[in-house]
Structure 1
Amino acid sequence: MLDDAFVAEQTCQCLRNVEAILKSEDRSLEDVLKTTVFLDDIDDFDAAYSGFFETAPPARSAVGAGDVSKGPAVEIEAIATVE
């Protein structure tokens, strides 16, 4: 298990990246319907994915992926509406 602050920092960066992509398409995090959180260690789930969404968080699933992409502790995939 990694340091909670390290995992939280990576989680915030992932969600900032998602937010930037959405913004480039005139969307926001409020348009996210579902996320999948890939964790190097599933025991880090509580540290990852803390209060980033202002309203009710979207549906989510978490996967203990072990050695995610040979580097980061967290990766997040998001599905958003494009109405």
Structure 2
Amino acid sequence: MGEHISFSNAEGQVLRLFLERPRRLISRPQMQESLGGVAGESFDRAMDVRISRLRTKLGEDPKNPSLIKTIYGAGYIFLGDVHWE
């Protein structure tokens, strides 16, 4: 069996959003709409922290992430393969 990783509720919401839209760009406004939150610097910073924590828990290299890519000025894209059973 695989390793068990615990996620906070906020991290789990972001991960679920990525898993529902694999290999598709998700803009910050789309994230805000899907996850709730008020636009602005505090939402952006909170999202940056959630993405950073997700990357760490998923074993990503912070200098060269391969699973969750930042597309500067546009948003994020989850590059993992997702198979629902």
Relative contact order, CA 8 A, sep 6+: which one is greater?
1
More helix by share: 2
The TM-score range, normalised by the shorter chain, is 0.3 to 0.5
**TM-score, structure 2 as length reference:** 0.33
**TM-score, structure 1 as length reference:** 0.33
More strand by share: 1
